[in-house]
Chain A
Amino acid sequence: DIVMTQSPDSLAVSLGERATINCKSSQSVLSSSNNKNYLAWYQQKPGQPPKLLIYWASTRESGVPDRFSGSGSGTDFTLSISSLQAEDVAVYYCQQYYSTPPHTFGQGTKLEIK
């Protein structure tokens, strides 16, 4: 299985400041056939199911604010929130969906307000 490792495990950022979460996969999730990275980011708030934010590593899901952005390729990826809002407090997960299942998730990063 591909192992997904996020860093940090938790993060406290001031309102209006930038938040950055990293995700590293144990093997590349970049497909040579279509040059796409099979990597997604989700946001989960307490008592709610996860919500898809980003897919193909950098494509924002419809309706997701543009302060959320994804970057990276191969094995190293980043989710950035450009100007943290109070409603962004949540746990964030990366997930690889490359090749044969299971399509593993990272362990999660808890984002709080400083």
Chain B
Amino acid sequence: EVQLVQSGAEVKEPGESLKISCEASGYSFTNYWIGWVRQMPEKGLEWMGIIYPGDSDTRYSPSFQGQVTISADKSITTAYLQWSGLKASDTAMYYCARPRIVGATLSAFDLWGQGTMVTVSS
């Protein structure tokens, strides 16, 4: 089955670091980009960035550049989103998603993970 399975919910304190994961299965992981989308509580969708696991080429939204790091480990078909110093404003649901067209960034997302809720609170 083609799917993206994300790691579980996290509760962290401000200033802590965090790395959440998105494990892909059922398709050629290195041939499709994987993106990350943020959804703050009761808010809309925000495109954060995207990575091509084949060569780790990564593109960030200017809004998130320098705030997060996107990476991938093709040996275990897993993409990651990480923070080095969380803020309360990072509290959100985070989704990974795969474009529908192989090898393309210019494509709608047709495959989504179930989401990882990150709560940052003291």
A61 touches B110 (CB 8 A): yes
Main secondary structure of the interface of A (DSSP, over half): loop
Contact with A along B55-67 (1 / 0, CB 8 A): 0000111110000
Q: Does B45 contact A (CB under 8 A)?
A: yes
Most buried by B among A40, A42, A103, A105: A103
- Interface residues on chain A, number (Cβ under 8 Å): 26
| B46 nearest CB neighbor, chain A only | A105
Cβ contacts under 8 Å, A99 to chain B: 106
- A101 touching B108 in the complex, CB below 8 Å, given contacts A49-B95, A49-B114, A50-B45: no
A105 CA to B116 CA, complexed, in Å: 20
A22 at the interface (CB under 8 A from B): no
Sample of 6 more A-B contacts, CB < 8 Å, known A101-B50, A104-B47? A50-B95, A52-B108, A97-B107, A101-B47, A102-B49, A107-B44
Interface magnitude class on chain B: 20 to 34
Determine whether B100 belongs to the interface, using a CB cutoff of 8 Å to chain A: yes
Contact residues of B between 55 and 114, Cβ < 8 Å to A: 59-63, 95, 97, 99-100, 105-110, 112-114
Number of A-B contacts (CB under 8 A): 70
- For the complex, give the distance between the alpha carbons of A52 and B97 in Å: 11
Interface string of A1-22 (1 = CB under 8 A from B): 1000000000000000000000
Whether the Cβ atoms of A98 and B110 lie closer than 8 Å is no
CA A101 – CA B35 in complex, angstroms?
11
Cβ proximity bits B39-54 to A, threshold 8 Å, 1 near / 0 not = 0000011111110000
For B50, what are the chain A residues with a Cβ–Cβ distance below 8 Å?
Answer: 101
Residue pair B61, A106 in contact (C-beta under 8 Å): no
